[in-house]
Amino acid sequence: MATVQRPVAVFLRCLLCVGALLGQFSAEAKEGKLVITGSSTMAPLVLEMGKRFESLHPGTRIDVQTGGSSRGIADAVNGLADIGMASRALQSQEGNLHGFVIAYDGITIILHDSNPIQELTDDQIKGIYSGIITNWKTVGGLDAPITVVNKAEGRSTLALFLHYFTLSNRDIKAHVVIGDNEQGIKTVAGNPHAIGYVSIGTARYDATYGVPIRLLPLRNIPATLETVREGTFPLSRPLTLVTKTEPTGLANTFIEFARSPATHDLILQHYFVPLAD
Amino acid sequence: MAGGILLLVVAFLILESWPAFQDIGPARFFTDQDWYPTERLYLLTPMLWGTLWATLGSIVLAAPLGILSAIFCHYYAPPLLATWYRRLIELLAGIPSVVYGFWGLVVLVPVIGQLHPPGPSLLAGILVLFLMILPTIMLVAHASFAKVPLSYIHSAMALGLGRWAMIRNVLLPTARAGLFTGILLGIARALGETMAILMVCGNVVQTPSNLFDPIRTLTANIALEMAYALGDHRSALFVSGLLLMGMVVVFVVMAEGLQYRKLDDTAR
């Protein structure tokens, strides 16, 4: 009998231990875990901020997941996330949400480095993207067909681009549709006659590391981190943390931390632009 | 166990695409003007064609070449070369698809772009898929040639058949079912390939009119938009998953049919 009971007792004891452990985890989850979801532009930055925050506040856990600005806002509304990330300003119908800008990002038009074009007007860019201008010759460049690189549906970069140039996605005659910024940069870097648009941060980073792309100025304003910070670059966007209600407790502490100068070095590392103060 | 999981996956796909069937209706996936899910247009046929053409193109290239290289490896090459050749192909089979995709994006696409802009195209997709499924077809063909009974070969030799006559009249018919299985495995891999295709095909939603047109496949459509899709858009992406699943099922049923025909043949 004893030989039979022994394993059972051991098993029960194990079960108890596991139960106790689980209980501890769930208690901790209530106290010190923040779920942040949303913009893939913001996720790498917020992840770094989260790591630093965790080391400053032992016992806390910041869980960052991507999925796009739309998901960030939806998750914040549904309560699936404590904080949403949106790489755009809140729209008017989202007025009941609370938004906190942590940094700025700009969208830049990029060309291959060997393309002689130094500047394009807004109308020319609009013409190229809507398929009216199909050869670089028309805008003073080489006699070569233009390859138009567009973003996939649902991306906030696409939404901001369309909004600025007052285009609808159905007007755009694209030759390549890309997912993330890096794929866009690789596509333009591999095609001397391509035009695309990506985050200034990513483009500046790659251009300084020798990727053959050139960032075009917009309305005579160069696409640099400085002009985005000053707010003079026309095609820029705020990176926003979103909560459903006025943030309290850990969420509030984290948002204050993200907006403080303590994270400016991280923001610069990711080629975004910190807040002015 | 595995069957149960498969049923669960299918059930999940149907469950997730149900809102789309209710709100949009199954017909509109084939009759809408275009695919602009944020403007509530949900045409899937261009992507269906994209998937089919890319798969068909790659299989047309890979099937003969894969089988021929298996024949070469098995019956023509000197043993040392054959061993190293097979190892090389095995290595090729193990390379992750994203590596092929990256190579396609930085090497193949610019070359095609010089020939005929823009570069990312059906052709690039076909070539990358071809490289990916070639090892599968070759290795399966190699294995089925190895399974041909030695007595067949000896008999053929005793009859004084030349090497090529023996291959054509004895080995190919005997190994036929295995060769078809290899081709179908290749087709299944080509249908389901996502990452490499996403990187080299351009992803423009259109029915291709020539090899240099950019295309979007059903798999690329899911990968490209799933992270950002909400509501009916998300649901419509599950419908493209369901459609893809349906295509794979059709090919698997075909493969089963060929297996049975093989059994009949040997019984006769």
Answer yes or no: do B198 and A154 touch at CB < 8 A.
no
Q: Give the pLDDT band (50/70/90) at residue A227.
A: confident
Structure tokens, A217: 């100025």
To the nearest whole Å, the CA of A217 is away from the closest chain B CA by 24
The beta-carbon neighbor of B203 closest among A67, A70, A177 is A177
Pick from B39, B199, B224: which is nearest to A152 by CB? B224
B91: which residues sit within 8 A by CB, 6+ positions away? Answer: none
Determine the Cα–Cα distance for residues A67 and A77; give it in Å rounded to an integer. 15
Report, as an integer, the average pLDDT of B189-198: 90
Residue A26 has pLDDT above 50, yes or no: no
Nearest CA in chain A to B202: A176
Cβ separation A152–B203 shorter than 8 A:
yes
User: What long-range pairs does A251-259 form, CB within 8 A, spacing at least 24?
Assistant: A251/A34, A251/A82, A251/A83, A253/A57, A254/A34, A254/A49, A254/A50, A254/A53, A254/A62, A254/A83, A255/A83, A255/A100, A255/A102, A257/A49, A257/A53, A257/A56, A258/A46, A258/A49, A258/A100, A258/A102, A259/A100, A259/A101, A259/A102
The C-alpha of A189 sits at a distance from chain B's nearest C-alpha, in angstroms, of 9
pLDDT in tens, B47-106: 999 999 999 999 999 999 999 999 988 888 888 888 898 889 889 888 888 899 889 988
> B131 near B179, Cβ under 8 Å?
no
Alpha carbon distance A228, A235 (integer Å): 8
* Residue B223 with chain A: CB contacts under 8 Å: 179
Among A17-21, A83-87, A185-189, B111-115, the range scoring the smallest mean pLDDT is A17-21
**What's the average model confidence in pLDDT over A223-247?**
87
Confidence of residue B38 (pLDDT cuts 50, 70, 90): confident
Q: What is the pLDDT of residue B98?
A: 87
Distance from CA of B90 to the nearest CA of A (A): 29
Instruction: For residue B217, give Cα distances in angstroms to A186, B40, B136, B173, B195.
Output: 20, 20, 21, 35, 11
pLDDT of A3 reads: 44
Q: Is B122 in contact with B204 (CB distance < 8 Å)? A: no
Strand, helix or coil at B161? Answer: coil
Token pair listed for B143 = 């294995």
pLDDT confidence tier of residue B233, bands split at 50, 70 and 90: confident
Give me the pLDDT at residue B261, please.
Answer: 65
Q: With contacts defined as CB-CB under 8 Å, which chain A residues touch B36?
A: 153, 169-170
Interface of A with B in 158-187 (CB under 8 A): 168-170, 174-179, 183, 186-187
Query: CB contact, 8 Å: A152 with chain B?
Result: yes
pLDDT value, residue A71: 86
Which token pair is A262?
């303590």
Average pLDDT over residues A36-60: 89
Q: Band of the pLDDT at A190, cuts 50, 70, 90?
A: confident
Q: Across the interface, do B39 and A168 touch by the CB < 8 Å criterion?
A: yes
Q: Kindly list the residues from chain A whose CB atom is less than 8 angstroms away from the CB atom of residue B205.
A: 177
Q: Is 70 exceeded by the pLDDT of residue A16?
A: no
pLDDT at A255 over 80: yes
CA distance A48 to A62: 10
Per-residue pLDDT, B137 = 93
Q: Can you tell me the ipTM of this complex?
A: 0.75
**pLDDT at residue number A9:** 55
In chain B, the domains with their CATH numbers are 2-267 (1.10.3720.10)
Chain B residues near residue A38 by CB distance under 8 angstroms: none
Can you give the pTM of this predicted structure? 0.74
Mean pLDDT of the region A154-159: 75
Interface touch B38/A154, C-beta < 8 Å: yes
What average pLDDT does chain B have? 87
In this prediction, residue B263 has a pLDDT band, given cuts at 50, 70 and 90, of: low
Name the residue among A40, A170, A175 with its Cβ closest to that of B202.
A175
Using a CB-CB distance cutoff of 8 angstroms, which residues of chain A are in contact with residue B37? 153-154
**How far is Cα B49 from Cα B221, in angstroms, rounded to an integer?**
13
Ramachandran angles phi, psi of A167, nearest 5°: -115, 160
pLDDT tens digits, A63-122: 998 777 888 999 999 889 999 999 888 877 777 889 999 998 888 999 999 999 999 999
> What pLDDT, on the 0 to 100 scale, is given for residue B67?
92
Judge: B228–A74 Cβ closer than 8 Å, yes or no.
Answer: no
Q: Which residues of B touch A145 (CB under 8 A)?
A: 117-118
**Å from B204 to nearest chain A CA?**
6
CA B20 to chain centre: 28
What DSSP state is assigned to residue A234? Answer: S
Distance of residue B230 Cα from the nearest chain A Cα, in angstroms: 7
Q: Answer whether residue A195 shows pLDDT above 70.
A: yes
Q: What is the pLDDT of residue B262?
A: 57
Residue A27 has pLDDT above 60, yes or no: no
Per-residue pLDDT at A22: 46
DSSP string, A168-229: -TTT---SEEESSHHHHHHHHHT-TTEEEEEEHHHHHHHHHTT-SEEEPPBTTB---HHHHH
Task: Tell me if chain B has a CB within 8 Å of the CB of A66.
Answer: yes
Where do the H-state alpha helices sit in chain A?
Answer: 2-32, 43-56, 69-78, 122-129, 156-164, 181-189, 200-208, 225-230, 249-259, 264-269
Residue A10: CB partners within 8 Å, gap ≥ 6? none
Task: Using pLDDT thresholds of 50, 70 and 90, give the confidence band for residue A231.
Answer: confident
Q: What is the pLDDT of residue B75?
A: 85
CB of A19 less than 8 A from some CB of B = no
pLDDT > 70? residue A185: yes
